[in-house]
Structure 1
């Protein structure tokens, strides 16, 4: 897995992984509203607390993009890695059907710009699913430091408050976006909390 991490950044934490393209709709200090186009994700759900699920989820998704798929195809790493709490899981094919299975965390890797479900290789691990999302507007708050569950709750609260003050309506739960590997010095880390809005 260390080779995978190094593909997206250097040992000193410099980011080099591609990021999904977006149009900046609003900038207000640490807050932004961005519009992302159609995006494809590789996702997996792991039951349990945030701190205990990240490694398992990351390994599954890393396996997929490093060739654990029917085509044995390698897929370039992108940033950020997304995580969000879920009580509903097991996404199926479109329309997305979900079955309640317990509490856990959903981790998503953003597939490279231009990816489509029909052109991406099928995951060999049944716990890894591919999902395509329509274009959407996303409110974002950025911060440095650790991406702990406590910080996610704190910044999600600040973002929700800002969304309400600016007249937007939240249409998703908050999700964490991590741009750096775990060994990056905390004050140099780029983290975000994101909420879809309209």
Structure 2
């Protein structure tokens, strides 16, 4: 299956057959602990991520990373098992895990990006079938507190930087300590009207 076919099929799943392309995909559950305008502090439970790392800029790496992960959930695995698409799709600078203790520190390595799909609720590392593509890996994420700023429009690298700066300033004023690099979270397929799109920048906090 070609990259464009995978992108189209995944977009259809994300769209939920909506003409406007608004997503109806399952999302990981969370509790809102604090809210101010477009900013929220959320508590998430544990989850499993399927992820892949691609060299290149934000936009250049997106298509290749998306195709790898979409291939996995469409059956490119040892069991030929297919999964329902979930939201959001996460993208962040590739990072080096420096410690197994909290906080987990992250720093950018060169010009690489990691994209992640959230596996369906209840998934475990043991239950997920092995990917046929060795560049697709899994990571188990424990319960965590996440600061989120929401916006509409394009999920570009410039928007990631701009809204990350706004969120970082707000966190500093409120006394929150950041534990991760900012990451982009996208909820809608590419053809969704820009002003209807739901995008987020997320930062893990202490």
Q: How many Å separate the matches in 2 of 1:161 and 1:33?
A: 14
Gaps of 5+ in 1: 90-95
Gaps of 5+ in 2: 1-5, 98-103
**Is the aligned partner of 1:171 residue 2:179?**
yes
Q: How many Å separate the matches in 1 of 2:139 and 2:38?
A: 29
Q: How many Å separate the matches in 2 of 1:165 and 1:15?
A: 34
Q: How many Å separate the matches in 1 of 2:128 and 2:135?
A: 16
Superposition pairs of residues 86-105 of structure 1, within 5 angstroms: 86-88=94-96, 102-105=110-113
TM-score, with normalisation over the residues of structure 1?
Answer: 0.92
How far 1:87 sits from its partner (Å)? 4.9
How far 1:166 sits from its partner (Å)? 1.1
Of residues 133, 141, 157 in structure 2, which corresponds to 1:125? 133
User: Which residue in the other structure is 1:13 paired with?
Assistant: 21
Q: How many Å separate the matches in 2 of 1:15 and 1:173?
A: 26
Q: Summarize the Cα distance change of 1:62–1:132 in structure 2 as closer, same or farther, 3 Å threshold.
A: same
Of residues 190, 195, 205 in structure 2, which corresponds to 1:187? 195
User: Which residue in the other structure is 1:136 paired with?
Assistant: 144
Superposition pairs of residues 19-98 of structure 1, within 5 angstroms: 19-88=27-96
Deviation readout 1:90-134 (Å, 9 max, x if unpaired)? xxxxxx9x9x97421100000111111110111110100011011
Kept in 1: contact 2:47–2:142 (CA 8 A)? yes
Q: How many Å separate the matches in 2 of 1:40 and 1:180?
A: 21
Q: How many Å separate the matches in 1 of 2:46 and 2:95?
A: 25
Classify the secondary structure of the residue corresponding to 1:58: helix
TM-score, with normalisation over the residues of structure 2?
Answer: 0.88
Q: How many Å separate the matches in 1 of 2:183 and 2:152?
A: 16
**Is the aligned partner of 1:197 residue 2:205?**
yes
Classify the secondary structure of the residue corresponding to 1:20: coil
Kept in 1: contact 2:22–2:197 (CA 8 A)? no
Aligned residues: 190
User: Which residue in the other structure is 1:113 paired with?
Assistant: 121
Kept in 1: contact 2:187–2:199 (CA 8 A)? yes
